């Protein structure tokens, strides 16, 4: 039975503890991966703080890359030694939603969903959060969660593709299908928001307005392609957007943070025929308000976007090519790299708003 070192949550809102965990051997269709890098996503932090409940003890971390160490029976899409991105998207390819090309909504219940792959040294079952549990130097996941990548792509940069990039970029390209010449506002300029900005650039948006309460993040958004930056604490964001769009408002607004105020105000930013795209995940029990009369009269829309509606088998290779050709910034998203033993410090920096993406780097991350 494989063992791993992991950061474990035993109590919501408390520091994670570093300990040895036990992993199940990979079963049919499953793969053991040596994790080389795992970025810290706000979803991991929200879970660890208890915002969405969940089962404890738990191992979080779902934005990862590493090297295939072993494969279970019947695995055909990857082999030992492959460099892979590890995602939380687990899909069967044949259920109602998969047949509609909606892999992120797959309804199949896998053996790993029923039993999990992680236990403590005492044999107690640990929750493999978000089907990944990558705040650990090894994971066992289903082969559908993996995408092989070229070996010249650094693990730390590749890890960002597992969630932050496909979520932000995909919200623009897959969910909203932004057209060349349309106008866009992105609320929140963290890792997901900056990738929505990048998606808007690739889609050919003419006006890309970044909205954030932190001037440093607005400055970062401009380096990623935003044409304008607005701090709502210093100016009327809706008025500024109308000024930039001939008085109309933007065609699409992407709310990438989980704050009620951000959802409520998003409707002030869109034009007739405009769309509010909900990307960020608020704590359980948070509700937004909108005027349904205006929504109907102005032909406006609200859509959700889970994981950028990604089909990882095609979207991640396309993003890798954008990265290798200089059209997608990944390295620049990383604020700092930390060893597993310093994960609580890394999380604190993210919570303080001092990081775009902090990445936990394991020993495998130094391999060629």
Walking along the chain (368 residues) 10 residues at a time, the average pLDDT comes out as: 94 97 97 98 93 94 98 95 98 96 96 94 94 97 98 97 97 98 97 97 98 95 98 97 97 95 94 96 87 95 96 97 96 96 96 91 69
- Alpha helices (runs of H) in 82-178, residue ranges in sequence order: 111-115, 155-159, 164-170
| pTM for the model | 0.94
How large is the angle between the packed helices 215-223 and 191-203, nearest 10 degrees? 30
Question: In this structure, what DSSP letter does residue 257 have?
Answer: S
Give the pLDDT of residue 365. 61
Residues 153 and 169 in one domain: no
Distance between CA atoms of residues 192 and 216, nearest Å: 16
Give the three-class secondary structure for 353. coil
- Total structural domains in the chain? 2
Closest by alpha carbon to 185, among 109, 289, 267? Answer: 267
Closest by alpha carbon to 192, among 44, 86, 313? Answer: 44
Residues 264 and 348 in one domain: no
Residues 20 and 62 in one domain: yes
Give the three-class secondary structure for 155. helix
Tokens 């934005």 correspond to: 63
| 217 domain-assigned | yes
Give the pLDDT of residue 1. 81
Spatial contact of 48 and 348, defined as CB atoms under 8 Å apart: no
Spatial contact of 319 and 328, defined as CB atoms under 8 Å apart: yes
Residues 170 and 265 in one domain: yes
Give the pLDDT of residue 363. 82
Tokens describing residue 275: 């769309």
Tokens describing residue 297: 């009269």
Residues 183 and 105 in one domain: no
| 325 domain-assigned | no
Spatial contact of 206 and 199, defined as CB atoms under 8 Å apart: no
| 320 domain-assigned | no
Give the range of the structural domain holding residue 267, as residue numbers without chain letter.
165-307
Give the three-class secondary structure for 322. helix
Give the pLDDT of residue 368. 42
* Sign of the torsion formed by the C-alpha atoms of 33, 35, 36 and 40: positive
Spatial contact of 275 and 171, defined as CB atoms under 8 Å apart: no
């Amino acid at each position: 039975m494989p063992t791993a070192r992991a950061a474990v949550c035993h109590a919501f809102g408390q520091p994670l503890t570093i300990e040895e965990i036990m992993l199940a051997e990979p079963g049919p269709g499953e793969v053991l991966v040596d994790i080389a890098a795992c970025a810290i996503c706000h979803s991991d932090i929200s879970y660890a703080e208890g915002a969405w409940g969940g089962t404890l003890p738990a191992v979080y971390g779902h934005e990862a890359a590493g090297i295939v160490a072993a494969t279970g029976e019947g695995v055909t899409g990857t082999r030992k030694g492959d460099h892979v991105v590890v995602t939380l998207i687990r899909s069967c390819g044949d259920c109602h939603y998969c047949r509609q090309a909606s892999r992120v909504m797959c309804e199949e219940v896998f053996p790993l969903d029923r039993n999990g792959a992680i236990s403590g040294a005492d044999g107690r079952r640990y929750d493999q959060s978000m089907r990944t549990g990558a705040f650990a130097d090894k994971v066992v996941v289903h082969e559908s969660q993996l995408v092989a990548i070229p070996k010249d792509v650094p693990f730390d940069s590749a890890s960002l593709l597992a969630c932050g990039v496909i979520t932000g970029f995909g919200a623009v390209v897959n969910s909203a299908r932004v057209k060349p010449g349309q106008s866009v506002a992105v609320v929140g300029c963290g890792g997901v928001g900056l990738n929505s900005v990048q998606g808007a650039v690739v889609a050919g948006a003419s006006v890309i307005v970044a909205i954030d309460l932190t001037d440093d993040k607005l400055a970062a958004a401009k380096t990623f392609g935003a044409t304008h930056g607005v701090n709502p604490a210093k100016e009327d964001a809706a008025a500024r957007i109308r000024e930039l769009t001939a008085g109309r408002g933007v065609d699409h607004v992407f709310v990438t943070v989980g704050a009620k105020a951000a959802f409520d105000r998003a409707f002030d930013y869109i034009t007739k025929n405009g769309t509010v795209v909900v990307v960020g995940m608020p704590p359980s029990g948070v509700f937004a308000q909108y005027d349904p009369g205006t929504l109907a009269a102005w032909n406006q829309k609200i859509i959700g976007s889970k994981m950028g509606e990604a089909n990882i088998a095609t979207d991640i290779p396309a993003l890798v090519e954008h990265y290798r050709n200089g059209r997608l910034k990944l390295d620049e998203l990383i604020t700092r790299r930390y060893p597993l033993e310093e994960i609580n410090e890394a999380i604190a920096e993210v919570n303080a708003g001092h990081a775009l993406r902090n990445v936990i780097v394991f020993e495998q991350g130094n391999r060629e």
